[in-house]
Structure 1
Amino acid sequence: MNASAHAVAARVAALGGIVRSTRLIDEGHSRRRIARALELGLLIRVRRGWVVVPGADADLVAAARHGVVLSCVTAAARAGLWVAHRPEVPHAAYPGWGRVMSSAAVVHWQRPIVPRHPDALEDGVENVLLTVATCQPYEAARAVWDSALNRGLVDLAALRRLPWTGAARRLADEASPWADSGLETFFVVRLRWLHLPIRVQVWIADHRVDVLIGDRLVVQIDGGHHVGAQRTADIAHDAELLLRGYHVIRVGYEQIVHRWHEVQERIMHAVAQGLHRA
């Protein structure tokens, strides 16, 4: 019996560490074996119908315990997407059945854009984008959508075939796979009013530049990795760009996120002087 209990626990671990009891039963594991695994501490019951192995993913365990599905910015951050601000309170979605037991999370109640499996504890990328679209301000949501496209987690053509409405429809129409970070998305969105061509990740002088405004105004957005050898390479590339007739402006994370007015004013003056023209 103990060997069978260990086999049940091993199966739960193979399924990600948390699973519905009904799935184990459907696979041929008896209720008695599951009960024995619980007695031995090989499994833990977090809620009726859900069992986990000790040390399972804490976020997924919490989702099962409270009857929700991880979604929105919480799931986006877990997937490695660019999120402007990590939420202090988890964001989740109502799974469509059962009772939600959590008051310590922001719960989204939209119908998923892609059908959600009853065993899911974390939304797929399209459903994450849906909840982000209705929860976050446009530019923050756009950064997440652009990030998902840039990382290849979703295809733009397939994304646009889905029946989006409202804010999500606009994001599906305007999102782009070319922004390498949310800072580039912010930059493009915030300067659309200039009505100038603003392109990201353009290849010039054997390197990509973060943003190209018009024909000649390059904006490089420095993150924390722009030090040491990277910084030396950046300086050399800036010099090459200048020799080829480009004008280069460098800004950092702190400026874009917290002192945008300074960045915008610098761009406005550069454009006024025609530095974006060939």
Structure 2
Amino acid sequence: MPSITIPEFGAVHRSRLHAQGVRPSELTRALETGALRRVRRDWFVSPRAHPLVAQAITVGGAVGCISAAIVRGVWAIDDGALHVSVPGNQPRLRRSAAGDDASPTRRVRAHWDDGQRRREAIVGVPRMLRQIARCQPEEMAVAAFDSSIRLGLLSSDELAELAASSTAQFRRIVEAVDGRADSGIESLPRVRLARLGIEMVPQVKIDGHRVDGLVGERLVLQFDGFGPHSSRHQRNKDLAEDARLTSRGYTVLRFSYDQVIRDWEWVESEVLRAVEHGRHRWPM
């Protein structure tokens, strides 16, 4: 419907439609044609709305925490729950009707938040990050913060300002943030290695080509996510890049997403072995 403007995440409250001057007949027509679908008494979603948005609204909250990160495209590991931000003065979540298409298909994890505003479908980026900092392990939070910076959702200055008014844990996470990381699968090793006293510099350019991480002078760490490195063409390109670096004297260790997430002890041992053997320094 040309006279109806739907917000970015595909959900709109009746009050917003009223403010736009949408007439009841126009709303009825939008519902009849499928341009909008009612998910709660005064809430409507468009066909492009993310399922998590509709589900959060259905139970009486807004998409929050890592669910908000997933909707925004911020790097996060999906824990299978629907994270819902709920105003602190709201007594409880609502029950959705059985068989409703917008009914949550996940377990619901509520984040009761005194600052949560009503009539918003998804929490703002600062609130999302605060909730992630409270809910997720610090290394996962750093990865989400890195991603938010890289995506331009929050500037470094805004993050520093936010940290100044937050908890010590939040400030500790902010200190570890580096927006140069291209993916969370690069952020996690950086944080984990830092705990061992090993500094991994992200996205270093070597001979005109960027590598995921560099330890010392010549230990290159490459991390393959599911998408960018899944094709045969990309795999061949990665191997050629590794060979090019090796021929120039660099040590290259390449790890997969699964290895970083599910077999970190082995990844750590490989990096530590390389450092112990001095493969991160140029020969004297």
Q: Aligned pair count?
A: 266
> In 2, distance between residues paired with 1:13 and 1:164?
33
Q: Deviations over 1:173-221 (max 9, x none)?
A: 2211011111211111111133233201100022111111111111111
Q: Secondary structure at the match of 2:279?
A: coil
Amino acid corresponding to residue 50 of structure 1 in structure 2: W
1:91 aligns with 2:83: yes
User: Structure 1 residues 207, 27: CA separation in 2 closer, same or farther (over 3 Å shift)?
Assistant: closer
User: Structure 1 residues 53, 156: CA separation in 2 closer, same or farther (over 3 Å shift)?
Assistant: closer
Q: Deviations over 1:117-172 (max 9, x none)?
A: 54311012111111111001111111111111122211111111122214222212
> In 2, distance between residues paired with 1:212 and 1:130?
30
User: Could you tell me whether the CA contact under 8 Å between 1:188 and 1:198 is conserved in 2?
Assistant: yes
Q: Which residue pairs with 2:258 in the alignment?
A: 254
Q: Which residue pairs with 2:232 in the alignment?
A: 228
1:270 aligns with 2:274: yes
1:1-278 to 2 correspondences below 5 Å = 11=4, 13=6, 18-29=11-22, 33=25, 45-52=38-45, 57-84=50-77, 86-96=78-88, 98-102=90-94, 104-112=107-115, 118-162=118-162, 163-224=165-226, 225-226=228-229, 227-278=231-282
> In 2, distance between residues paired with 1:34 and 1:27?
12
TM-score by length of 1: 0.82
User: How far apart are 1:273 and its partner, in Å?
Assistant: 0.9
Percent of pairs with identical residues: 34
User: Could you tell me whether the CA contact under 8 Å between 1:74 and 1:87 is conserved in 2?
Assistant: no
User: Could you tell me whether the CA contact under 8 Å between 1:66 and 1:100 is conserved in 2?
Assistant: no
> In 2, distance between residues paired with 1:235 and 1:38?
53
Gapped regions of structure 2 (runs ≥ 5):
96-106
Q: Secondary structure at the match of 2:139?
A: helix
User: Structure 1 residues 18, 270: CA separation in 2 closer, same or farther (over 3 Å shift)?
Assistant: closer
Gapped regions of structure 1 (runs ≥ 5):
1-5
User: How far apart are 1:246 and its partner, in Å?
Assistant: 1.2
User: How far apart are 1:99 and its partner, in Å?
Assistant: 4.9
Amino acid corresponding to residue 105 of structure 1 in structure 2: V
**Cα-Cα RMSD:** 2.9
User: How far apart are 1:234 and its partner, in Å?
Assistant: 2.2
> In 1, distance between residues paired with 2:49 and 2:184?
31
User: Structure 1 residues 59, 243: CA separation in 2 closer, same or farther (over 3 Å shift)?
Assistant: closer
> In 1, distance between residues paired with 2:157 and 2:273?
38
Question: Normalized per residue, which structure has more helix?
Answer: 1
> In 2, distance between residues paired with 1:169 and 1:55?
36
Answer with 1 or 2: which has the greater Rg: 1
